[in-house]
């Protein structure tokens, strides 16, 4: 089959009524991504000529997800009437050359590995199915074999006899066939069944009746074939994928004292001697270099942490990066656009956004730095804030090297603090604070003798 162009047909038209959700079933998220996105990532590793995604219920939402995938090989195909899996595949066959090899995949199979699909695609048979041994086969189509082991059909749960219902080898929903033959079998599939639907699985019986050999590859890890029809099953998929993701990180050398409490909801890469403490959530694209420590309860999203970076407990790091070893937290929030150089110290209850901290700069507690550039070794005292928003536009604050900002100061942007400048505590700085000078901008205190506090009125 190696000389045949490979086309994939992904069945993503179902509603998933038992989900009781306005979101189409294939878009239900696990590990931070839609089920369909997980499947497509594995499927695209086969390097197909085209991936035909059959859409129906929630077509607009599914199409939007496909566009966000940004891969020219993905094409959507509308199934306007939901008449079964065989009918769904027929909608795509018009765009597939007869000389192609076709693999049909259910859109709600997020755990399947690309290695499994590669091995399945290599089967040299006109028709093949991916099966697995189910501890509880209820709800699955049973693989029917003759006494010599030949596959002769698949019987759906609703149509199975008592004897057939006891079969534990079941259909995963993955099928491979030569396109020309598949088109012929699909044209002959009827809908005389309990659901009055056109079953793709009926092709197996038709092929066997034609004398066409049918191969069945039994998946070594049944977990890969699992789908979800309700929220309980979706939670089972989440647990399985989390176990896999954590296991891969630990195999790469990440130490997790309590792995079951860690959530991985994206793509995470990690260097040597990385420690991820209990209760951590890793989301999006995260890079943890050598020696990074992520403290208890931290949320790290779309971030790159340089070697030696330490996050103390309960920090939120979102769209930020460090370029050298530094310390953050506890209870700090780094928002998108934050860049921390080596030796930076961000302390408790400090928030940053679109702020660049030079080497050795510090904001130890209770401060906000937004749209700011903080020079090397500058120090922001407790309660320092950059007033970067005037109600309509954002403005930038520049703080020079070795500057010292006294506690409870407000820097009203646009504003520049020079190198080695000192701003007195409690100042409101609206202009330039020159280098090598003390700037104090606060009202003189005055006392009013005999002033009385207001008294509460006596009730009538």
H/E element, 305: strand 304-305
Among the listed residues 321, 316, 325, the one whose alpha carbon sits nearest the alpha carbon of residue 292? 325
| Rounded Cα distance, 381 and 365, in Å | 7
Q: How far, in whole angstroms, is CA 175 from its chain's centroid?
A: 27
Of residues 7, 52, 87, 365, which has the active-site annotation?
365
Tokens (6 digits) for 89: 């595949």
Give CA 204 to chain center in angstroms.
36
Give the number of other CB atoms < 10 A from CB of residue 106. 22
Rounded-to-integer distance, Cα 292 and Cα 306, Å? 7
Task: Report DSSP letters for 115-144, one per residue.
Answer: HHHHHHHT--SSEEEEEEE-SS-TTSPEEE
CB 54 within 8 A of CB 9: yes
Cα 247 to Cα 244, 250, 256, 262, distances in angstroms = 5, 5, 10, 11
Q: Please indicate whether residue 365 is annotated as part of the active site.
A: yes
Nearest to 343 by CA among 376, 380, 366, 311: 376
Compute how many other C-beta atoms are within 10 angstroms of the C-beta atom of residue 136. Answer: 8
- Write out the H or E segment, with its range, that includes residue 187: helix 179-188
Helix (H) or strand (E) holding 293: strand 293-294
Active site (catalytic) residues: 365
């Amino acid at each position: 089959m190696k000389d045949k162009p490979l086309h994939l047909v992904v069945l993503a038209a179902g509603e998933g009524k038992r989900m009781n959700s306005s979101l189409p079933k294939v878009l239900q998220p696990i590990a931070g991504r839609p089920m369909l996105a997980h499947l497509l990532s594995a499927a695209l590793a086969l390097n197909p000529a085209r991936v035909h995604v059959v859409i129906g219920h929630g077509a607009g939402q599914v199409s939007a997800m496909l566009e966000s995938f940004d891969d020219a090989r993905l094409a959507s195909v509308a199934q306007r009437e939901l008449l079964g899996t065989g009918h769904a595949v027929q909608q795509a066959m018009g765009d597939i050359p007869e000389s192609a090899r076709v693999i049909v995949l259910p859109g709600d199979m997020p755990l399947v590995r690309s290695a499994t699909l590669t091995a399945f695609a290599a089967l040299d048979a006109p028709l093949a199915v991916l099966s697995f041994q189910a501890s509880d086969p209820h709800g699955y189509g049973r693989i029917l074999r003759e006494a010599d082991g030949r596959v002769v059909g698949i019987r759906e749960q609703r149509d199975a006899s008592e004897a057939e219902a006891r079969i534990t080898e079941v259909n995963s929903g993955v099928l491979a066939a030569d396109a020309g033959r598949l088109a012929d079998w699909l044209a002959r599939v009827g809908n005389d069944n309990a659901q009055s639907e056109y079953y793709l699985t009926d092709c197996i019986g038709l092929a066997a009746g034609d004398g066409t050999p049918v191969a069945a590859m039994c998946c070594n890890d049944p977990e890969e074939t699992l789908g979800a029809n309700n929220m309980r099953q979706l939670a089972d998929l989440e647990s399985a994928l989390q176990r896999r993701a954590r296991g891969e990180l630990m195999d790469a050398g990440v130490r997790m004292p309590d792995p079951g409490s860690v959530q991985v909801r994206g793509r995470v890469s990690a260097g040597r001697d990385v420690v991820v403490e209990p209760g951590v959530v890793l989301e999006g694209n995260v890079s943890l270099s050598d020696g990074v420590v992520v403290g208890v309860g931290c949320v790290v999203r779309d971030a790159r942490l340089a070697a030696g970076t330490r996050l103390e407990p309960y920090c939120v790091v979102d769209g930020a990066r460090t370029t050298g070893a530094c310390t953050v937290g506890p209870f700090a929030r780094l928002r998108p656009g934050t860049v921390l150089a080596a030796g930076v110290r961000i302390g408790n209850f400090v928030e940053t956004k679109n702020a660049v901290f030079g080497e050795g700069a510090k904001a130890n507690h209770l401060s906000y730095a937004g749209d700011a550039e903080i020079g090397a070794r500058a120090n922001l005292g407790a309660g320092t804030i950059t007033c970067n928003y005037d109600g309509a536009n954002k403005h930038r604050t520049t703080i020079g090297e070795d500057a010292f900002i006294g506690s409870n100061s407000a820097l009203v942007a646009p504003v520049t603090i020079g190198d080695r400048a000192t701003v007195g505590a409690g100042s409101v700085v609206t202009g330039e604070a020159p280098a090598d000078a003390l700037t104090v901008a606060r009202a003189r205190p005055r006392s009013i003798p005999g002033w009385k506090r207001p008294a509460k009125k006596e009730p009538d």
